[in-house]
A and B are shown apart, each in its own frame.
Chain A
Amino acid sequence: MPMNVDNVKSQMRKGMLEYCVLLLLGKGEYYTTDIIEQLKEANLIVVEGTLYPLLTRLKKEGVVTYRWCESTQGPPRKYYKLSPEGDEVLKELNKAWNELATTVVHLTAEKVSE
């Protein structure tokens, strides 16, 4: 096996996870299970539990906020959304992503042309 592809992949996913969560919350207010569903679809998380420490940290950093909502069945739910600071962070990240994507596209194109 050439080096540790799995390791690199998980690193990439890990890096993307935070950005993707912010992207999602940038679109509106979601509760955790919604986020999980979306991320699972995108293959960004392997186990659901991963999300909780991340959200807790983002909240602590002031990037996101949440409010409690009673649920008709089951436990109460936390609804997350971006804070104003979170909007700023997202903008920054969007910029960074665009640059990165451009670079990646550029590099991939070069390889193809060879």
Chain B
Amino acid sequence: MKKNITINLYGNLYAIDEDAYELLNNYLENMKRHFAQKEDGEEIANDIECRIAELMQELKESGVEAVNIDHVKEIVARVGNPEEVDEEKAEPTTDHQPYGHKGAAWFDKKVRDFKNNLRGKSLYRNPDNMVLGGVLSGLAQYLGVDVTLLRLLTVLLTLVYGTGLFIYLICWIVIPVANKPEDRLKMRGEEVNLENLTEEMIKEPESNTREGKVKHEQYGCSNFLFRGVVMLMKWTLVCLLSLIALTGCGLLIAGLVIAAMTLFEGDPIVNSSLNSTFTTLTGHSSFWMILGVVVISSVSAIWAASYLIVRLISANKEGKEKNMLFAAIAMLVSMAVCIAGIAAMGMQFGEISKTERKLNQQTRKQKDIDEQLAWLEEQGWNVLKHEHIREDRYVRRGSHYSGDRNKRYIDATSEHPDMDYTLERTVKLSPGIYRLKAVGRTNGSGPGIYIINNGRRYEVAIPNYGNKGGEIWENAQKELATAVKGSPQQQEWEKQAAANKGKGFGWSRVVIDNIAVTDSILRYGVSNRCMSNTIWNGTYICATDFKLERVK
């Protein structure tokens, strides 16, 4: 049973089946559109319409009650499609291949192919294959490329401040949807002729079932909000999954980086610098952008990979080869993007951590210097001279005569011949006889301790033992032979003898005796240029254990 309608052609009524009417109407519309651009095209189209009315009249006279689709097909076959009718229509072009340069010929062919591909096509949104509005599948039809590629490109382009999505939305609004069969033919670049049109119309009922209709309406731009919510939900899910995946990835990367850094550096700076590096890194917007790229590309790679796996496992592979190929390409591209993103992150991390470490080193050095100076100040030392010596060398630990690596002592090292390190204390004393004791070591002549009392200077040289032996060490060796085992004194000597793996650090005691103090102010100090009659020729001076004792 078919629905039947009545049409009026030049004042005569004809009963016609609905599908037949659709076909006829399409045909006439096409004819009009085809000739619309031509001179007198309207007249030609009208003439043809007249002819069709005549043919309908003939049918009516021959006793046909209602024109059906076969009649219309017959009529259309008689009168011909617009392309056949048009006498100006270009002859089927034979390929006149110019004999030119091979590369140029190839390029020409590509351009020609592309142009041929566009010929007779119109840009529509494709209702048969849509994710959102069918813009990309329509564009893919128009350009003759695969839709997956365009979708991938759009997604990637969306990462650039949402450009892809923006363009998509505009296209969605501007480009019409191919709702009519003939639109779909034009979208695919198929000839709008009788056979194709009929075929397309026969296909039509499938998508015109209720479900199909609902679907079509849903995908329209008007229902954008609904679609948007659905997409948002999907997207949230994706983001959530990505976040989980990323947390794992991030922890892994961080762990690896920390492991590598501690392994290669073993420096306490690393810990603090790593910390500050992360803080700085997460403060960079580019970091989050790259992170986003990595997340999305990794998710897309996972999707593509899982699709491939499912397809490979499932027995039904027919017709899916193309999809699989594109899944494979998508996977590879996503993986490449992901790896590039991770590499970029790594590079950024390395860059920042380098500067952070430098910064940390600087602050640590400054802190160290401050600490050394504070110690000197606490001890009452004034730094009179500190020239041609590394700025962070005032005080050191490590080579104390007792072997204790944590004991501090005055220390300056320099290869510079003009090195000058002079420290001085000023003390108030009640009159009496005093004695100044100290220990020191050096590897040159010139260093010593001095006292300035009543305007007179007394100096005693620090013996030059270098970095071995020393009077303290020699004395300890000697004393140990007769010492009572277990006494505190003996333990002290043992330590001194064992310093520097039993070789001694070169420390010696220096004493200035018989200091008769009458004025209450006394100055004493230590310097590598202490001895007035000697020229400094070493590279370091160390001193500690200054003690001013009253003898009488």
Residues of A whose CB lies within 8 Å of any CB of B are: 4, 7, 14, 32-33, 46-50, 52-57, 60, 73-78
Contacts and interface: CB of A to CB of B under 8 A. Distances in A.
B79 A49 contact: yes
A52 B84 contact: no
B47 A55 contact: yes
A47 B10 CA distance: 23
B48 A74 contact: no
Contacts of B91: 7
22 contacts: A4-B94, A7-B91, A7-B92, A14-B87, A32-B47, A33-B54, A47-B77, A47-B79, A48-B78, A49-B48, A49-B81, A50-B84, A52-B51, A56-B40, A74-B12, A74-B53, A75-B10, A75-B12, A75-B54, A76-B50, A77-B50, A78-B50
Given A32-B50, A49-B31, 17 more contacts: A4-B94, A7-B91, A14-B87, A47-B81, A48-B78, A49-B51, A49-B79, A49-B81, A52-B44, A52-B47, A53-B86, A53-B87, A56-B44, A60-B40, A73-B61, A75-B9, A76-B50
Interface in B174-208: none
Contacts of B40: 56-57, 60
Nearest to A11: B91
Closest 6 CB pairs of A and B: A47-B80, A49-B85, A75-B10, A49-B80, A74-B57, A52-B47
Contacts of B54: 33, 74-75
A77 B40 CA distance: 18
Determine which residue in A33, A48, A49, A53 has the highest number of CB atoms from chain B within 10 A of its CB, and name it. A49
Interface residues of B, number: 32
B378 interface: no
Interface in B22-62: 31, 35, 39-40, 43-44, 47-48, 50-51, 53-54, 57, 61
A7 B94 CA distance: 11
A76 to B, nearest CB: 7
Given A33-B54, A56-B40, A46 B84 contact: yes
B88 interface: yes
A74 B12 CA distance: 7
B84 A47 contact: yes
Contacts of A75: 9-12, 50, 53-54
